[in-house]
Structure 1
Amino acid sequence: MIYLVALGALFALAANSVLIRLAVVDYGADPAGFAVVRVATGAVVLMTMALLQKRGAWPTKARSVAGALCLAGYIVGFSLAYRTLDAGFGALLLFGWVQITIFATVVVRGNRPSVFQWIGAIVAFFGLVWLLKPSSDLGSVPVIDLMLMSFAGVSWGFYTLLGRGAGDPVRVNAMSFALCLLFVLPLLMVGNGALSGPALMLAMVSGGITSGLGYALWYRIVAVIDPALAGVGQLMVPVMASLGGLVWINEPITVQWLIGAALVLGGIGLSIAPQIIAKRRL
């Protein structure tokens, strides 16, 4: 059951890449304005849920500020980088850095990933490189956007790690979104504010559903699974984002895409197989 819930959370993460690319490419949305609306909508939805449920502890001030800073780093880098990066390659770069950040933190803390997790992570990462290489023309992508998405990946990696033992997922994320709004509002000064009706709707869906509710769901998952496994598992997101991009822009699914997706899913399978086998033996 937990893996089905995790799959739903990962689908929500992937949807954010597709939603912002649809808004920017198809409806000429300003990425900065999209980001502000996304955070504001997420804050409203999560705060409303937190107040209605009347249970669970609010996070500490230190945890709230740390979460807001990490979330803001992710939102700013993610949104601005998608001015030029396509959904699939952007997700590859983002979650490649997420995996590196989480694995490095796990190792520094003295918690060694298992052999299967290392092998699975390597197989999945090379599958992503194989999958997305045809769509990544680095010569035409501004270096600043590559750096912004890398920064977003590191920030999201730490935001994921902060979810372990943070408390009630809804209230923790509600505080992070509310404080994050203060940090992302200055983005309105660097954007043109262009948000058509459809783009505004996409930003609100991204903020309230695939971000707000999606992140609360993801925090429920990372609280009960191994952090290294969380890093590997998120490598499924670029596959989902690529598939979404293919569907929305009518690109064919190639043999190369199938091979890359198989490597990613196989790598994730290697990482979680020992845990599944151990549970069945109990």
Structure 2
Amino acid sequence: MRFYILICLTMVAFAANSLLNRVAVDYGYIDPESFAVIRVASGALMLIALARFKGANLTWLEPRRGLGALALALYMIGFSTAYLTLPAGLGALILFGVVQISIFVIAAFLKAAPTLRQIVGAVIAFGGLVVIVNPSATVSVDLQGAGLMALAGLGWAVYTITGRYEPDALAGTAANFVLALPLTMAVPFLTDAPHDISAPGLLLAALSGAFASGLGYALWYSLLPKLTPSTAAILMLSVPVLALAGGVLLLGEVLHLRYLGGAVLVLGGLTLSFLKPRT
């Protein structure tokens, strides 16, 4: 039971990131690139402090460290900049679609291919996500934005797979955040958009980084060795549903019947993926 509670807390932390990002950027408190930089920096500070408090030994020169940090930076950079030109719904579909496909393919190479039940469950859950975001056929797709979001999905997939081999979840996540920070800080210099930071924007980005990202990602790394790659990928499809629920409860967003139908499909797909066949 404790394991499933921790999974739920992790998914809630991921959804909280979405809500904090949405409020900070959509309400004009901060620009996306600055949000990403502060998010990674505050996450690094929180994780380093906790790692030092626990006496954890941070390692910097291992292959998985470089891969994890690069994947994290790729996710942060792609996610932050893609939404400058992509609608939220289309961005979510590209992100989670690429995450699913990438993890399934990588898992197959690692001899941990998804079962037929997991594939069917993933298809049902992703179908629910399509219903929720309801992408319009008239929306024009910005190829650069779509490419950046696809890179973000690939980055998160690699980051998730790498976490399965992390012996110390807290120390590994702390080192990843520190090494990813210089790459993320380069993002504001690559765009022509204005960079405005207000006090509420700074606070929201710091909360996202220190708690929802830093602690959430460390908890995710602690759970990954106990999950198959395919199960981890399918679990991520619950994040948009939780973010939607948070938007309704905390931001006063309207709950449409379509959302409920999509949520049922997502949760149904997750349940099917987790069910164990009777013997």
Alignment TM-score, normalising by the size of structure 1: 0.90
Q: In structure 2, what residue type is equivalent to 1:176?
A: N
User: Contact 2:104–2:230 (CA<8 Å) still a contact in 1?
Assistant: yes
Residue type matched to 1:271 in 2?
A: S
The percentage of aligned residue pairs carrying the same residue is: 41
Query: Does the aligned pair in 1 maintain the 2:89–2:134 contact within 8 Å?
Result: no
Please state how far the C-alpha of 1:151 moved relative to its aligned partner.
1.2
Whether the 8 Å contact between 1:101 and 1:157 is mirrored in structure 2 is yes
> 1:264: Cα distance to partner?
0.4
Which amino acid counterpart does residue 170 of structure 1 have in structure 2? Answer: L
Q: 1:138 to 1:244 in 2, by over 3 A?
A: farther
Q: Is the 8 A contact 2:29 2:200 kept in 1?
A: no
Paired residue type of 1:31: P
Provide Cα deviations, 1:2-32, integer angstroms capped at 9, x if missing partner.
1110111111112212211211111341111
Give per-residue Cα distances to partners, 1:101-127, cap 9 Å, x unaligned. Answer: 111111222323222211111111111
Q: CA deviation at 1:60?
A: 4.5
Partners in 1 of 2:142 and 2:91 — Cα distance?
Answer: 13
Distance 1:201 1:44 in 2: 15
Query: Contact 2:68–2:159 at 8 Å: present in 1 too?
Result: yes
Q: Which has the higher helix share?
A: 1
Corresponding position of 1:128: 129
Q: Which residue of 1 aligns with 2:63?
A: 62
In 2, are the aligned partners of 1:37 and 1:204 still within 8 Å (CA)? yes
Match of 1:31 in 2: 32
> Where does 1:44-63 land on structure 2 (aligned, <5 Å)?
44-55=45-56, 58=59, 60-63=61-64
What is the aligned partner in structure 1 of residue 149 from structure 2? Answer: 149
RMSD over aligned Cα atoms? 2.1
| Counterpart residue number, 2:215 | 213
Q: TM-score, normalised by structure 2?
A: 0.91
Q: What are the ranges of 5 or more consecutive residues in structure 1 without an aligned counterpart? A: none
Q: Which shows bigger deviation, 239-248 or 34-43?
A: 239-248
Q: For the structure 1 residues 168 and 241, does the alpha-carbon distance in structure 2 shift closer, same or farther, using more than 3 Å as the test?
A: same
Counterpart mapping for 1:69-218 below 5 A:
69-85=70-86, 87=88, 89-133=90-134, 139-140=139-140, 142-189=142-189, 190=191, 191-218=193-220
Alignment of 1:15-30 (within 5 A): 15-30=16-31
How far the C-alpha of 1:88 sits from its partner, in A, is 5.1
Q: Distance in 2 between matches of 1:196 and 1:141?
A: 31
CA contact (8 A) 1:163 1:223 kept: yes
Q: Which runs of 4+ in 1 moved over 6 A?
A: none
- What is the number of residues matched between the two proteins? 276
